[in-house]
A and B are shown apart, each in its own frame.
Chain A
Amino acid sequence: MIPRYQTVLFFTLLIASAVMGVVLWQLLDRAHQRRLQGEDSAPLPAPAIAPPIETTFLVANDRENSLVRQTLTLPLPQSTNARAKAILGKLLDLYAAPNSTHPVPGGAASITGVFLLPVPADAASAGSSTATPGFSTANNAPGGDQLAVVNLTSAFVASHPSGLEAETLTVLSICSTLHANLAAVTQVRFLVDGQPRATLAGHADLTRNYMAADSAPSDGAHP
């Protein structure tokens, strides 16, 4: 026989549970309504996709000791610095590919950054004494000459094949490719992990400003 007080207590708790369930349901519904009211239900703007741009690469060829012009269509960022980095990253990806004509491991990750700086007029004229042949310091860019500082990784430098030809081709292809796509870039300087370095892999001088020019070497020309 169940005592009467236990029966009353049971039904009291049952009714309280039901009431609490209803209240909880209503609170959840209100919270959901508040969240919907706070959100902007308008459709999100479509992400901006960079238009594909025809990009020119001066690709090194070890067998012929030459730079060969190659054109690819790539989506490139709008920012000039980011664009320069993307272009050089693609160039180094070509070198890291299995059938590369100038095999250098590392790929796009070997470029930490490319920084474009304005070149003072006196520096531009003084730098002509270290110009690469076939290149000049003529200022044809509407915005003035720019110095591109290319920051390479130490891993790239450590794995780069040693040799006059291999190192020279790498340096000249980077300079020529930058200038072919960014006409304002007339000088290029190299850093490794943010620091100056004497040579790329024991030969090519990295302490100088390379003059990259208003006229890149013609197709297949020897540097």
Chain B
Amino acid sequence: MWDGRVETRKARICSFALVLIALFAGTATIHAQAPPSPASSGPASSAPATRFVVVLDAAHGGSDAGGSLATQPGQTQAEKAYTLALSVRLRSLLGARGIAVVTTRESDTAVDNNRRAEIANHANAAACISLHATQVGSGVHIYTSSLTPADPARLTPWKTAQAAWITRSLALAGVVNSALTHAGIAVTLGRTGLPAVDSMTCPAVAIEIAPKAASDQDQTSNQAQASSLDDPQYQAQIAQALAAAVLEWRSTAWRDNDSSPGAQP
């Protein structure tokens, strides 16, 4: 009788301990996925020593080739290869300027959209740039998430985590727009639903490289315009402008202002 009561008490204590452990683990997991609040892990103006990290996300990869780009007459290049090459080039430019860069892929490998967002979120990045390329349109298209801006919350749905960072993302898009325009590149701004970006808890923009605008080039034929995607000068011009935008973002918008979600630049 006495032994039975002791065993029952031990079993209750063990169950209570297990429930506590499970609750603690669950809270920690959810907190890791939520956008950092100003008071917790997010980079804040009160902590200027926070490392400035940029995440470069080369879209597609592996079996997901993305779009097909006409680079040379009669030749095409997969979007995944184009974005990877641009990511490598941009990483080199940023690295040379002393900026820490995290990339979502370094080779032709398939990376899930959730994994891309995980990499960006764990890097606690000051800027996330998703790189794309297309044959449609002209110039550079800058997209931010079309989610409605929301106040930062401790628990955030994974698929709409970017909602708390929309204001900062729009500010980043403005800085990128200024840098590209200053470099003489035609820019269009827009908002869209992009699965990887929608889950990122950092200022995030999607950059889509399109053929050079007709007014910007000497050759006027459609073929020449289409193949301008492969023009090394055009690529270098864009990469330099993006690097300048990141530098501008670091020197002004990010350092001088609170980089917490929802903060006004």
Chain A residues near B (Cβ < 8 Å): 62-65, 128-133, 161-168, 171, 198-199, 201-205, 207-208, 210, 222-223
Contact indicator B136/A165 (Cβ below 8 Å) = yes
Please tell me which one of the listed residues A162, A168, A198, A207 contacts residue B192 in the complex, with CB atoms under 8 A apart: A168
Residue of B with least CB distance to A127: B148
Contact indicator A163/B194 (Cβ below 8 Å) = no
Find chain B residues with CB under 8 A from A171 CB. Answer: 193
| Residues 81-121 of B at the A interface (beta carbon under 8 Å) | none
Find chain A residues with CB under 8 A from B67 CB. Answer: 161-163, 201-202
Contact indicator A222/B190 (Cβ below 8 Å) = yes
The verdict on A133 contacting B191 (CB below 8 Å), with A162-B67, A165-B210 known, is: yes
9 other A-B residue contacts (CB within 8 Å) besides A165-B190, A168-B192: A62-B137, A63-B138, A129-B147, A129-B150, A129-B157, A163-B134, A163-B208, A168-B193, A205-B198
Contact indicator A202/B66 (Cβ below 8 Å) = yes
Rounded to whole angstroms, the CA-CA distance of A129 and B193 in the bound complex is 12
Rounded to whole angstroms, the CA-CA distance of A171 and B190 in the bound complex is 13
The verdict on A163 contacting B132 (CB below 8 Å), with A198-B195, A202-B66 known, is: yes
Residue of B with least CB distance to A223: B190
Find chain A residues with CB under 8 A from B194 CB. Answer: 164, 203-205
Is there a chain A Cβ closer than 8 Å to B60's Cβ? yes
Find chain A residues with CB under 8 A from B159 CB. Answer: 207-208
Chain B count of residues within 8 A CB distance of the other chain: 34
Contact indicator B206/A164 (Cβ below 8 Å) = yes
Contact indicator A168/B190 (Cβ below 8 Å) = yes
Residue of A with least CB distance to B197: A205
Find chain A residues with CB under 8 A from B208 CB. Answer: 163-165
Find chain A residues with CB under 8 A from B163 CB. Answer: 129
How far in angstroms is the closest Cβ of chain A from B173?
A: 12
| Residues 146-189 of B at the A interface (beta carbon under 8 Å) | 146-148, 150, 157, 159-160, 163, 188-189
| Residues 200-247 of B at the A interface (beta carbon under 8 Å) | 206, 208, 210
Is there a chain A Cβ closer than 8 Å to B255's Cβ? no
Listed A/B pairs (5) with beta-carbon separation below 8 Å: A129-B157, A130-B148, A161-B134, A161-B136, A207-B195
Contact indicator B136/A130 (Cβ below 8 Å) = no
Contact indicator A131/B188 (Cβ below 8 Å) = no
Find chain A residues with CB under 8 A from B190 CB. Answer: 65, 164-165, 168, 222-223
Rounded to whole angstroms, the CA-CA distance of A133 and B192 in the bound complex is 9
Is there a chain A Cβ closer than 8 Å to B79's Cβ? yes
Rounded to whole angstroms, the CA-CA distance of A167 and B190 in the bound complex is 12
Contact indicator B146/A65 (Cβ below 8 Å) = no
